[in-house]
Structure 1
Amino acid sequence: MHDASLATISVDQFIPAPPARVWSSLTEPDLLARWWVPGDIRAVVGHRFHLQMPGWGPVACEVLEVEPPERLVYTFNTTWTLTWRLVAEGKGTRLLLEHSGFDLDDKRDRAAFERMGPGWRTMVLPRLAEVAAEAV
């Protein structure tokens, strides 16, 4: 594997809810399960947790960075990283997601990359927006 073959999915999603509410939706297990998957996440650097991914089973993760309510970074399996950035925008939040570390030379990674980009954009993050906006 060489770095030139690594790819990143970048998604920009406006959420009609304040950053604190979006942060809660990312970091509280009960809210996370409502828009994505069950997992024992905690916004604590070094916290190891699992996300229960359909078709994959439990995926090991580790929190790398926490800057509430602006930035959350964690590993997702052994090679991918999810970087969530929240920027206040008007009465809502601009959510910037980077899902990085896809090895496009690896058949399974390439297939995941091709599925997950559209999945984040059209299904997962719109559900996050709905859950975060419910409490507003």
Structure 2
Amino acid sequence: MNDNTSEMRSVIIEREISHPPEKVWRALTVPHLIAEWLMKNDFHLAVGHRFKLQGDWGGTLDCEVLTIEENRVLSYTWDFVNDNPDYDLRSIVTFTLTPTGKGTLLRMEQAGFRPEQKQALGGAKAGWEQFLGKLEEVAGRTD
């Protein structure tokens, strides 16, 4: 496997959300809300906390919280290890929240796709578009 990080690819999605950063932050960090828009989980808001995301497809992602800047930045590892090493994905997901006049600009970046992982990159882009649409709905229902 080539470990040249300069060849790594990322999925970046920016979305204007019509809710304040505090509401978006809650949707990003409260386990039962994460389950509504992303996946079942045992998330806890603490740097170094290891957690799992359980996908509807039966797969599991191993994650670890890396960065917390309340209402601003959240990042964690997003590792999918498979029986077939060609499908292994070791990546980092970072959410950045910027207040705007209308609510929040949410920037999501998933970094760490190897150049040969074109299918995974495309799948992640489509998946995140759906996840972030659901996140916006969930954020609208938080108090």
**Equivalent in 94, 99, 104 of residue 88 of structure 1:** 99
Match 1:69 to one of 68, 71, 78: 71
SS at match of 1:79: strand
1:41 aligns with 2:43: yes
Consecutive unaligned residues of structure 1, counting only runs of 5 or more, are: none
CA offset at residue 114 of structure 1? 1.1
Change (3 A) 1:56 1:80: farther
CA displacement at 1:115 relative to structure 2: 1.1
Of 122, 127, 138, the residue aligned with 1:119 is 127
In structure 1, distance between residues paired with 2:101 and 2:44: 28
Relative to structure 1, the CA distance from residue 60 to residue 10 in structure 2 (aligned partners, 3 Å threshold; closer, same or farther) is same
Deviation at 1:3, TM superposition (A): 2.1
Structure 2 distance, partners of 1:31, 1:56, is 20
TM-score by length of 1: 0.90
Tell me, in whole angstroms, the C-alpha distance in 2 between the residues paired with 1:14 and 1:40.
28
2:141 equivalent to 1:134: yes
Runs of 4+ in 1 over 6 A off after TM superposition: none
Gaps (5+ residues) in structure 2? 80-88
Q: Which residue of 112, 115, 122 maps to 1:101?
A: 112
Q: Is 1:43–1:72's contact at 8 Å kept on the other side of the alignment?
A: no
Instruction: Judge conservation of contact 1:50–1:59 (CA < 8 Å) in 2.
Output: yes
2:18 corresponds to which residue? 16
Identity of aligned residues (%): 35
Q: Give the TM-score of the pair, scaled to structure 2.
A: 0.86
Report what 2:90 is aligned to.
79
